[in-house]
Structure 1
Amino acid sequence: MNNFFFRACILLGAFIQAHHSFSSPNFIVILVDDYGWSSLSTSMDKRQPEAKSDYYKTPNMNALIEMGMRFSNGYAASPVCAPSRYSLQFGKTPARIGITRGLGPNNAEHDQVGIPQLLKRIDPSYRTAHLGKWHIDADPSQYGYDLHDGVTKNKPGGFALGNHKRQWEGYAEKDPKRIESLTDRATNFMRESSLQKRPFFLQLSHYAVHSDIVFNATSFENTSRRPIGVLHLNSGYAAMIKDLDDSIGVFLESFESLGLSDNTYIFFTSDNGGMPVLPQQVNLGTPYVRGLNTPLLRGKWDLTEGGIRVPFAVTGPGVMKNSQSDTPVVSYDVLPTIFELASGSVRGLPEGLDGGSLRDLIEGRSKVVERPSEYLVFHYPHYNRVGMNEPHSSIRGGNMKLIRFPVSKRELLFDLSNDPGERNNLAVKQKDLVDELDSELTKYLLSVDAERPEEVFNWHTTGKSGEIRTRFFQRYEGE
């Protein structure tokens, strides 16, 4: 009798585990690199149908976005790659984690809890994989990844820093940016998980469209035959985008053929905004008047909208197709969202997170994201001659955004609801609001012991502390 009872308990436990495994949702994060908000052939904001590429063709990324909800105010946590990747993985701002620099030394705290670890706490049968660019200075296995490529950065995707001609003139090769092989491995991982009837988490982190400009020769032939645009006009860059888009089409075909759509959520976004211009444009006169991320201002390396507002979409069961939310969301919301979708609750999340779950938002029950703070804070305390070349921080509250430059003691205030291009500085007219946002920004940065603004130039820069080396502010003179 006891033996029978023991066997029955084992069978019941196995049944419960199997049922749990089968019903647990799958999660896919597709993270593209340096992809601009207006570099799709669809607009991320239906209210601005013109805010799209006049040259690039992205039918498959468009289709992915239309499968679910697009976010017109989707943000990367940083204007550079590594900090955003930490942030997405751990649900915290780069300032809290201790990494705000894309290249070079950092003070990152690597004793973190990642998405795979949380999912395995909910259901130990989850299979987890990270494929592609990692750019975190700790092994992915530390955070629960079963399959991964190790501590990869830019080099595996082709990156000739210092070789200007190779980096920016473009060249053809097989499997450019490893786009095809990454897609093949990702689809194999989904197929194996489906055959094993195990839930999975897959992060597919493409090297495209970060420099070098690398493309498939046939794609370049295709884009070279098309008329170039006024905003976007580089055929090699367009070919690289075509390769990326084609691969996402292949991925979605496999996804659909496996019948995964009823129980899988897909998050699609970029690690930061697109390049502000390509070097070839610099000689055309006024590159930042109409940069690659137009109608947004500037791009990667800066906390202007062009540097941090990015494509952002979520698809999955319960998410209305081809819908749009104008609520601001940010990459550190991904972890708590996945946790709640998998567990049904936000109880059990690690302490000290900055992100909030998007579940009520994507399921249409709310237009608000519950985070520990009502503000979004961005922090880039570095000089960088390819950006604005001055440390700066930013805070968004509602539709209002403040950018603070502590070295030159300048402050810019914008109403993003009617000025997403950040053309009209309202700081003088709304001094009380500047003071309020400035106080909240200071309070947050102090609370997380954020890195202080640099006192010297770095990364290919020379000069004296505090010297202003940008013409950026000239556009606001007289306001």
Structure 2
Amino acid sequence: MGQRHPNIIVILSDDQGPWALGCAGNPEIRTPNLDALAECGTRLSRFFCVSPVCSPARASLLTGQIPSRHGVHDYLDGPHAGPDSVDYLGSIPTFTDALADAGYRLGLSGKWHLGASDRPRRGFSHWFALHGGGSPYDHATMYRDTEPVEIDGYLTDVFAEDAIGFVETAAGGDEPFFLALNFTAPHKPFAGQHPLGYTELYRDCAFESCPQEPAHPWQPTVDGVPIGGEPDAREALIGYFAAVTAMDAAIGRVLDAVNQQGIARDTLVVFASDNGFNCGHHGIWGKGNGTFPQNMYDESVMVPFIVARPGQIREGVVVDDLLSGYDLAATLLELAGLDPAPFETGPGQSFAPLLQGEPQPGRAVVVHDEYGPVRMIRTGDRKYVHRHPFGPHELYDLQNDPGERVNRIDDPAWAAELSSLRARLDDWFQRHADPLADGARLPVVGAGQVAPLGDDPLGPFTPPNWDGTPAKASKTKGDCR
């Protein structure tokens, strides 16, 4: 007989495009364990991050709120530990708080990147957190609770082994457990970072799933190299694909541990990524800040998403509804048998019924994204991107132009559609944004946030310095951009 509340394992990859998954239709990338998870669960084919960069997206997954309410608008580049570091979500309820209040045993293995990595969040009895947002794959600084630990070894495997240890320990307890397993894969650096057995799988790959298009006119470069890429695009592709496959193998070992403990039927497993990624798509290497101004292409804002639990979640199903990261907190709580309502006060709404084959009348048929002053509304067949204060703006007919190639913004035939989408976008943000955290007038350019919002709105954000000379261009290969 299963326990009243299921165990929950949320596995998050880092910078994984929606195309980078075998079961999503990519015949080149090898993800057998994630493909098998999708076969015994449900895959969401149109799941969107809330912001196409890591820290805001992760904050929204935890809180169910948008960046213009929780105040994290760019990847965090300030102090990650020590007395000057800040827990950016310290005053904001998260779904992990609700799980702790319900008696869950909480564990984290991997990337945190929401400030104060050396201070475990409330309720976490297991805390193994990466120092910042990015790292080489052969060594890293981690925090075991409050203490720094220098790690050698392949980072993907280090995270997985730590997670397995938590599962084996927690499985013997009386309380249900929650595990956040947050990989850095397939985040850069790419080339020369991954075990030979994985890189050799792709040595002769044609990479037809990643056409290297002419450089996007908005793509910043450092010494001629896209800020989200590396000098040798083919070697970067080999590294990216190898990172995904190595992560898939590590996930397989974690799921094997769940099975060996005899708790599979009592365990809900979720796999997703924080944001999407372009590996040459649209002529971009990177995500939302792979261009300036920041982009909202589907490859940047859509992410893979799989959820499974034997006997509880529909098996072998693909759901095409438009869903968002701001829906996740409420959904997890409802699937755990807890009240989702506290995380439905903003735009988020539980989509648990869709996973269980039940109708969900009244669900919104649009999703919204933001990245500082850049905002998006996306319906099933339309996308409008508005850039405060001056543009450029974009309007796409996704029904006839799914690749987002023809901008209809100046087409008179689309004027009425544009007016409607613009009004809906403005209304949505008026309802859900906090004026004190609204990103529409903030100078967010995709170069990092170094402090919480305060009296000086210019202070927390790093100006764009992509000409190869200032400090931003000298970041290490663990750069988290």
> 2-side partners of 1:246 and 1:345: how far apart?
34
Residues 326 and 69 (structure 1), Cα distance of their counterparts in 2 relative to 1, 3 Å cut: same
Alpha-carbon shift at residue 351 of structure 1 (Å): 6.6
Residue of structure 2 aligned with 1:302, choices 265, 272, 295:
295
Q: CA deviation at 1:179?
A: 1.0
1:215 match: secondary structure: coil
- Output the amino acid matched with 1:134: W
Shift of 1:217: 2.7
Residues 1:28 and 2:21 are matched in the alignment: no
Alignment-mate amino acid for residue 394 of structure 1: M
C-alpha contact (below 8 Å) 1:115/1:143 kept by paired residues: no
Question: Within 1, Cα distance between the matches of 2:323 and 2:32?
Answer: 24
Using the TM superposition, give the Cα deviation of residue 107 of structure 1 relative to its aligned residue in structure 2, in angstroms: 12
Match of 1:40 in 2: 21
Q: Deviations over 1:206-245 (max 9, x none)?
A: 0111111220133233433x44333345323332222112
How many residues align? The count is 395
Query: What is the DSSP-based 3-state SS (H/G/I as helix, E as strand, rest coil) of the residue aligned with 1:248?
Result: helix
The residue aligned with 1:376 is 367
Contact 1:414 1:426 in 2 (8 A): yes
Contact 1:24–1:199 (CA<8 Å) still a contact in 2?
yes
**What secondary structure is seen at the aligned counterpart in 2 of 1:23?**
coil
Distance 2:31 2:318 in 1: 19
Q: Which residue of 2 aligns with 1:10?
A: none
- Report if the CA contact (8 A) 2:388-2:441 is conserved: yes
Report whether the alignment pairs 1:419 with 2:401: yes
Per-residue CA distance 1:118-170 (angstroms, 9 max, x = gap): 01323x2x11111100011245633422211246323445499xxxxxxxxxx
Change (3 A) 1:269 1:202: same
For 2:270, what is the secondary structure of its paired residue? Answer: strand
Q: TM-score, normalised by structure 2?
A: 0.74
Instruction: Describe the SS at the equivalent of 1:42.
Output: helix
Judging changes above 3 Å, is the alpha-carbon distance between structure 1 residues 261 and 157 closer, same or farther for their aligned structure 2 residues?
Answer: farther
What CA distance in whole angstroms lies between the structure 2 residues aligned with 1:59 and 1:143?
A: 35
Q: Is the 8 A contact 1:71 1:312 kept in 2?
A: yes
- Higher normalized contact order (CA 8 Å, seq sep 6+, divided by chain length): 2
- Residue correspondence of structure 1 range 59-458 to structure 2 within 5 A: 59-104=32-77, 110-122=90-102, 124=103, 126-138=104-116, 141-150=120-129, 152-158=131-137, 175-176=153-154, 178-213=155-190, 214-224=193-203, 226-232=204-210, 233=234, 234-277=237-280, 288=282, 302-316=295-309, 317-343=311-337, 345-347=339-341, 349-350=342-343, 352-366=345-359, 370=363, 375-381=366-372, 391-427=373-409, 428=411, 429-447=413-431, 448=433, 449=435, 450-454=438-442, 458=463
Q: What TM-score, normalized by structure 1, do the two folds share? A: 0.74
Looking at structure 2, the residues matched to 216 and 318 of structure 1 have their Cα atoms a distance apart, in angstroms, of: 37
- Structure 2 CA distance, aligned partners of 1:456 and 1:112? 22
Asked whether the equivalents of residues 65 and 322 of structure 1 are also in contact (C-alpha less than 8 Å), the reply is yes
For 1:331 and 1:211, the matched residues in 2 are separated by 23
Q: Among the aligned pairs, what percent are the same residue?
A: 25
Structure 1 257/368 Cα, relative in aligned 2: closer, same or farther at 3 Å?
Answer: farther
Aligned residues of 1:158 and 1:211 also touching (Cα < 8 A)? no
Q: CA 1:311–1:292 in 2, change beyond 3 Å: closer, same or farther? A: farther
**CA distance in 1: counterparts of 2:116 and 2:362, whole angstroms:** 30
**Where in structure 1 are there 5+ consecutive unaligned residues?**
1-18, 44-48, 161-172, 278-286, 382-390, 463-479
RMSD: 3.2
Point out the structure with the larger strand share.
2
Equivalent position SS for 2:99: helix
- Aligned counterparts of 2:47 and 2:132: Cα–Cα separation in 1: 24
Alpha-carbon distance in 2 for matches of 1:321, 1:25: 18
Larger radius of gyration: 1
Structure 2: tracts of 5 or more residues without a match: 79-85, 140-150, 211-233, 446-462, 468-481
* Cα 1:358–1:418 shift into 2, 3 Å: farther
